[in-house]
Chains A and B, each alone.
Chain A
Amino acid sequence: MAYGLGLVKGLKYTFTRAMKTVAGDFKHLGRRYDETLLRERQSVRGTGIFTVQYPEEKPAIPENFRFVPFLVYEPKLDANGKPVIDAQTGKEAINLERCTACGICSKVCPPQCIWIVRATTPEGKPKPKPAEFYIDIDVCMNCGFCAEFCPFDAIKMDHDYELANYERHISHIFDLKTLMKPATYHARIHPLDFKREEDDRKAKEAAKAAKK
């Protein structure tokens, strides 16, 4: 009896969705790529277009999203507690590198994509600081073991996934300069993780002070 009704139902759904998308375009004229709008569209309440219009709008990244790792450093602070911008690099000036070149990350790395060379003092003694640090991001499998195992919270997983390039042997071997990112950046992309770390550190310091 009712042959083809399913087809009509499906087409009706597609058509209403398309019409709602057009209506939404007129309703939100001029602020099409608004972030709050995107969040609403992607939620259950969304009625119109479902697609993320990628280069213009980007899907929200959850805090625990993992892409290639980066190294955290403490930025230099001025009198007001604001980080000082280095005029030469345009980045925040380095006060203290968290990495001590212990090599745990390179040992636990399953695909073995991390190379570290420890720095030495002029007398030839090893210094707790990396002289060279390389990550082959084309081998990295984004597992996050390095961030998990680092005892100094020096290596963290980045959120930046726009790394495609035309060749891999120069631009895709990240060196110390590319990997170094300030702690303020880490706090921005991992707010909960950063807060937990800071609380842990403060608790440890308090326990140490109490012992004395």
Chain B
Amino acid sequence: MSEEKPQAQPVPVASSEEEWIDEQVRRTVLVTPMDRVVDLVDKIYNWGRRNSVWPMGFGLACCAIEMICTSASRFDISRFGMELFRASPRQADLMIVAGTVTKKMAPSIVRLYNQMAEPKYVLAMGACASAGGPFKEGYSVVSGVDKLIPVDVYVPGCPPTPSALLYGLMQLQKKIDGQTIRDVSWYRKGASEGIPEPVLGPDVFDPRRAEEITALAGDPGKLEARAINIKSKAESKAEKK
């Protein structure tokens, strides 16, 4: 599994108070002409990006119906510049995970996320995508898409009404507004790493082995080693008999 996690909210916690003060000093006191240019670029850049978040046409379950309703004329999503539901992950900025994430679908979701061009965002819509919802202990369901890919906004509801989804999208816009080209990962040197796809093992239907599978996921070599290990154990057992 990847170490990439959704960016936490900048909460001024007592332990990181000094860091927070440093950050404020850096941002507000030590302003060089270069910083002003960067701030201006940020503003233009974020304005453009927040008003053209193109989602991927990607529905998994009943939440997708509400997503379709949001894009229809009554709750017109195009008022936010998000009406272009792209059929290809290469052209999409936002993945609205609308519905239950089954284990069968998990590798495809991660693959689609990896194929999206940066900057990319993920919105977990509804109870199932956020935390598994009523199926959170189901044998065939991943309890929350955040176990597979980093999530930017969680929208609760079962399913969320179109207004609730629009509110979630507005929260995402606020998040985009707070980003600066100094910090964002896609302007750093070197290619960004994709998230390894979870491999469906032979024991994927056993929820007691969930952790084991998570550890194994994304490394076929380990799976092979495991199979050999099991085989040798069985052989040694047979020898003992």
Q: Interface residues of A toward B: which range?
A: 20 to 34
- Residues of the A chain whose Cβ atoms lie less than 8 Å from the Cβ of B127: 111, 138-141
Assess whether B75 is in contact with A51, with CB atoms less than 8 Å apart: yes
Cβ of B54 < 8 Å from any Cβ of A?
A: no
Instruction: Count chain A CB atoms within 10 A of each CB in B76, B127, B136, B175 and give the residue with the most.
Output: B127
Partner among B8, B74, B162 whose Cβ is within 8 Å of the Cβ of A167: B8
Q: How far is the CB of A1 from chain B (nearest CB, A)?
A: 32
Contacts of B162 in A (CB 8 A): 54
By DSSP majority rule, is chain A's interface helix, strand, loop, or mixed? loop
Q: What 1/0 flags go to A134-156 for Cβ under 8 Å of B?
A: 00111111110000000000000
- Determine the distance from Cα of A46 to Cα of B232 in the docked complex, in whole angstroms: 75
State how many angstroms separate the Cβ of A61 from the closest Cβ of chain B.
Answer: 9
Least Cβ–Cβ distance between B178 and chain A, in angstroms: 10
Partner-binding segment picked from B152-160, B181-189, B199-207: B152-160
* B164 pairs with A162, CB closer than 8 A: yes
Query: Does B131 have its Cβ within 8 Å of any Cβ on chain A?
Result: yes
List, in ascending order, chain B residues with CB within 8 A of A137's CB. 156
Say yes or no for B161: interface residue by CB 8 A criterion.
yes
B residues in contact with A67, CB < 8 Å: 157, 164
Inter-chain contacts of A68 with B (CB < 8 A): 156
Residues of chain B from 67 to 82 with CB closer than 8 A to chain A in the complex = 73-76, 79
Give 18 CB contacts A-B under 8 Å. Answer: A50-B74, A54-B75, A54-B79, A67-B164, A110-B134, A137-B156, A138-B127, A138-B144, A138-B154, A142-B158, A161-B164, A164-B164, A164-B168, A164-B171, A165-B154, A165-B171, A166-B6, A166-B152
List the 8 shortest-distance A-B pairs measured between CB atoms, nearest first: A164-B168, A141-B158, A111-B134, A138-B130, A161-B164, A138-B131, A164-B155, A168-B154
